[in-house]
Amino acid sequence: MRKRLNEELGRISIDEFKQTEKAPIVVVLDNVRSLNNIGSVFRTGDGFCIEAVYLCGITATPPNKDIHKTALGATESVHWEYFEHTSDAVEKLKEANYTVFAIEQVEGSISLEQFVPNRNEKYALVFGHEVKGVSQKVVNLCHGSIEIPQFGTKHSFNISVSAGIVLWDFFRKLRL
């Protein structure tokens, strides 16, 4: 077994990425404070060819050296927009016929492994603040909530880990 070289990975250019068909997913970051988490979400979004990342509230925006540190250039490939209020981003997405889910632990949430996305729908996935999660106001605006099953003592994942888990699950279910 031999590690493949970067040249063997079939990476596409930023211009090619922008022309590539995207997974019908927009990630919404609701007041995410960690610049490393923001950068990681961009990088994961690039890896799964999502449509966009919406940065809301206190969530920092590119260009930023600390975001760049983990995004490794993905802020150049993945489309992004900034909204002062997360509710404005959610309303815009709903008007554009996205089905909006908070990724949050709420009453009546759907467990991720049981959720089956519809290939004919567009989705917006809202990830929240590292401590407070998705705000109740934003949860109230969503069509529903998806919860990642957890079995340990913490019952929380880092935002970038949550985004990776959920985006991989959606990508796998929509593409295969």
Q: Please give the pLDDT value at position 154.
A: 87
Q: What 3 state SS string does 25-53 have?
A: EEEEEECCCCHHHHHHHHHHHHHCCEEEE
Measured CA to CA, the distance from residue 114 to residue 126 in angstroms comes to: 18
Instruction: Quote the mean pLDDT of the chain.
Output: 96
**Which residues, 6 or more positions from 63, have their beta carbon under 8 angstroms from its beta carbon?**
75
Assigned domain for 15 exists: no
- Residue pLDDT, tens place only, 111-122: 999 999 999 999
Assigned domain for 84 exists: yes
Measured CA to CA, the distance from residue 169 to residue 172 in angstroms comes to: 5
Structure tokens at 132: 């407070």
On the question of pLDDT at 105 being above 90, the answer is yes
Number of domains in the chain: 1
Measured CA to CA, the distance from residue 128 to residue 59 in angstroms comes to: 10
Assigned domain for 120 exists: yes
Tell me which residue range forms the domain holding 28.
21-148+155-175
On the question of pLDDT at 176 being above 60, the answer is no
DSSP alpha helix (H) spans, the chain: 14-19, 35-47, 65-71, 74-77, 86-95, 136-141, 159-175
Which sign, positive or negative, has the C-alpha torsion 79, 73, 173, 131? negative
Assigned domain for 57 exists: yes
Tell me what the mean pLDDT of segment 25-48 comes to: 98
Assigned domain for 124 exists: yes
pLDDT class for 168, splitting at 50, 70, 90? Answer: very high
On the question of pLDDT at 94 being above 60, the answer is yes
- Residue pLDDT, tens place only, 143-157: 999 999 999 998 889
For 129, what's the count of Cα atoms within 13 Å in the CB-facing half-sphere? 12
Assigned domain for 9 exists: no
Assigned domain for 10 exists: no
CATH code for the domain in which residue 71 is found: 3.40.1280.10
Closest among 103, 109, 110, 108 to 28, alpha carbons compared: 103
On the question of pLDDT at 102 being above 60, the answer is yes
